[in-house]
Amino acid sequence: MALERVGRLYDGGRVAALRDVTLAIVPGEFVAVTGPSGSGKSTLLHVLCGLDRPTTGRVWFRGAEPASAEEWTRIRARHVGFVFQAFHLFPTLTALENVEIPMFGVVAGARARRRRAEDLLTRVGLAGRLEHRPAELSGGERQRVAIARSLANAPLLVGADEPTGNLDSKAAAVVLDLLEEVHRQDGTTLVLATHNRDVAARAGRVIELADGGLVSDRCGS
Amino acid sequence: MRFVSIPARNLSRRPMRSVLTALGVAFAVAGFVVLTGFSRGMEHAWTTSLLERDVHLTAVPRGTVQILAASIDERLAARVAAVDGVRDASGELADMVMLPSGRPVLVVGWPARSFLWRTLRLSRGRLPAPAQTDAAVLGEGLAGALRLEPGGTLALLGAPFTVSAVFRPSGVINNNMLILPLATLQRLLNRAGQVTVLDVRLARPGDVPEIRAVQARLAAAFPDLEFTETRFVADSNDVLRLIRAMAWGISLIALTIGLLTVLNTLLMSVTERTREFGVLSAVGWSPSRVLAMVVLEGLALSLAGSAAGIALGIGGLRWLAASPMLRGLVEPQVGPGLFLQVCAVTLLLGVIGSLYPAGRAVRVEPVEALRYE
């Protein structure tokens, strides 16, 4: 993935969330994006994962520059998984069904989708919570369902926006371990936005932003 | 999980709202079923009542709107019968009369030697003799309702009558009809020498070109009369056409309200779920998949409403047909044609009512929906 002189303006150009950011991410990297609130971490993550389009500059994914909204939709479906700070699970669906949601249009057959969702939930330690709805799960469990959902279509890239922001320290540790394990075992590129320096320290590379601009780009611990 | 179960889950999120919306659709569809079934029932009843009397053409004064108020010289029947291709013709005087019990009943008067008498299938009693002026013949439905048998008596327009026979028709109008000698009814209604309609039997009723030819000869010979094939009577009758138009008009209003109900509910639902649509877009759902989901929600609401509406409508029709004012005048018609129309209307309600909300859902950008996280 690469960003070339990317800028993202909001409110008719009055607010610059990103300014002239250029960077490249190598497949299989674990990158932490840090910076204070309002520094542009989430915006950078959204642009990297194809959830948002830059106002200026170019975005490259797997060596190509997706031109249309349809292309980005296809990329999000097949190659990108995303974990939100607030989980954003569907309240009327069970954990199993939440994980199945991204598979529509990618994995054919209800049985195949169910089997894969079961495997993923087992992997994140929720084999006993398959039929529970989000309201019946703890915060940590909900985030683990969200991680399983992000892995539904075996993505090349997983973006996580403050994935531990709404969790207590114990649940946060479990979630981070899980994300790291996915990165290590599957070779998935992991880009994680956080303002927590301890969390960022677990990454192989740390990108620091301030006021939408790139301040530093260095190797992690 | 199958795709179709997702809309169902979404609708179950606010069950009361979904049920109320379906009920709104149900009442709209029930209105459509009742009004359309009612107007069709009237047309069917009138057509059947003439067909089972072996009447091939009917004649009323040109420009007649209200048949019961029409007036034709009874002597014209003999002249019509003399036209080439006509086998027989008979005048018929008809009116709605209130029985002493308060029940409205269709009373017709037939000439003593009319062919119409011979079309009756008697179940009890015998036809009145030509000279008998105080005889009445009743349809089985009316006889049953009044608990009258041959030999019994009834009062009508202040005059006493003796039931001479009860007949068994297939149409609901004839079933609740009372037949008197023409001269007697003319005297009671102060319409001496008049009939309201001429009933014509043709020599070759199955020969369509011959029917057209006879119609042309009759039209030329009697320019003041309008001769209509019995099977098209309902189409050419202004009152029935008016009822049909009113039924469609009121149905359209009801269905528009149903459509707005679906649209309003889905619009609220889509607005409430803006963030979820953003998540769906974020996980790679295409706009067409999101659109399909919302349209399916609209279809599910309208289908559930329609199923309830059909049941309500059939119940309403039966209630109407059995009501004292309409008993014997309407035979509810809820055949496959009406169900096909309801299905088409339901599909339209669901799809049109959900297209705008679905369009709104499709336009949600993932980041726009998640910005306020």
Smallest CA–CA separation between B372 and chain A, in Å? 11
- Spatial CA neighbour of A85 closest among B370, B272, B282, B366: B370
How many angstroms separate the CA atoms of B15 and A17, rounded?
Answer: 41
Mean pLDDT over A110-138 rounds to: 95
Q: Which residue from B6, B281, B289 is facing A105, i.e. has the nearest CB?
A: B289
How many angstroms separate the CA atoms of B337 and B150, rounded?
Answer: 41
B9 — contact with chain A (CB < 8 Å)? yes
Q: Using an 8 Å Cβ cutoff, are A155 and A191 in contact?
A: no
pLDDT digits (tens, 9 = 90+) for A23-51: 999 999 999 999 998 899 999 999 999 99
B192 — contact with chain A (CB < 8 Å)? no
How many angstroms separate the CA atoms of B134 and B115, rounded?
Answer: 20
What CATH number has the domain bearing residue A144?
A: 3.40.50.300
List, in order, residues 6 or more apart from B270 with CB less than 8 Å away: B277, B294, B357, B358, B360, B361
Task: Please give the tally of structural domains in chain A.
Answer: 1
| Mean model confidence pLDDT for chain A | 92
B373 — contact with chain A (CB < 8 Å)? yes
- Spatial CA neighbour of B323 closest among B5, B55, B17, B38: B38
Least confident of A74-83, A179-188, B320-329: B320-329
How many angstroms separate the CA atoms of B161 and B99, rounded?
Answer: 12
Determine, for residues A73 and B281 on separate chains, whether the beta-carbon distance falls below 8 Å. yes
Range of the structural domain that residue A163 is part of: 2-219
Which letter, b or e, does each residue of B39-63 get, where b requires 16 or more Cβ atoms within 10 Å of its Cβ?
bbbbbbbbbbbbebbbbbbbbbbee
The β-bridge relationship of strands B57-61 and B159-167 is unpaired
Residue B121: the pLDDT is: 92
Residue A98: the pLDDT is: 96
Residue B349: the pLDDT is: 82
- Spatial CA neighbour of B332 closest among B139, B172, B145: B172
Q: Using an 8 Å Cβ cutoff, are B102 and B128 in contact?
A: no
Residue B327: the pLDDT is: 66
Dmax (CA) of chain A? 50
Residue A221: the pLDDT is: 60
B 261-280 → A contacts, CB under 8 A: 275-276, 279-280
Phi-psi region of B64 (alpha: psi -120 to 50; beta: other; left: phi over 0): beta
Which letter, b or e, does each residue of A198-220 get, where b requires 16 or more Cβ atoms within 10 Å of its Cβ?
ebbebbebbbbbeebbbeeeeee
Complex ipTM value: 0.93
Q: Which residue from A75, A77, A92 is facing B10, i.e. has the nearest CB?
A: A92
Return per-residue pLDDT of chain B as tens, 373 residues. Answer: 899 899 888 888 888 989 998 898 899 889 888 888 888 877 877 777 778 888 999 999 988 877 788 899 999 999 999 999 999 999 999 999 988 888 888 999 999 999 999 999 999 999 999 888 999 999 998 999 899 999 999 999 889 999 999 999 877 788 889 999 999 999 999 999 999 999 999 999 888 899 999 999 999 999 999 999 887 776 766 777 787 888 888 888 888 888 888 888 888 888 888 888 899 999 999 999 999 999 999 999 999 998 999 999 989 888 887 877 666 666 777 778 888 888 888 888 888 888 888 888 888 888 876 764 4
Determine, for residues B283 and A96 on separate chains, whether the beta-carbon distance falls below 8 Å. no
Q: Return phi, psi of residue A163, to 5°.
A: -65, -15
Residue B320: the pLDDT is: 82
Determine, for residues A88 and B275 on separate chains, whether the beta-carbon distance falls below 8 Å. yes
Least confident of A64-78, A146-160, B264-278: B264-278
B248 — contact with chain A (CB < 8 Å)? no
How many angstroms separate the CA atoms of B175 and B44, rounded?
Answer: 14
Determine, for residues A70 and B281 on separate chains, whether the beta-carbon distance falls below 8 Å. no
How many angstroms separate the CA atoms of B302 and B28, rounded?
Answer: 10
- Spatial CA neighbour of A120 closest among A91, A142, A145: A145
Per-residue pLDDT for A140 more than 60? yes
Q: Using an 8 Å Cβ cutoff, are B190 and B198 in contact?
A: no
- Judging contacts by C-beta atoms under 8 Å, the chain B residues touching residue A73 are 281, 284-287
B147 — contact with chain A (CB < 8 Å)? no
Determine, for residues A85 and B285 on separate chains, whether the beta-carbon distance falls below 8 Å. no
- Judging contacts by C-beta atoms under 8 Å, the chain B residues touching residue A86 are 373
Q: Return phi, psi of residue B60, to 5°.
A: -130, 160
Q: Which residue from A78, A91, A161 is facing B284, i.e. has the nearest CB?
A: A78
How many angstroms separate the CA atoms of B310 and B313, rounded?
Answer: 5
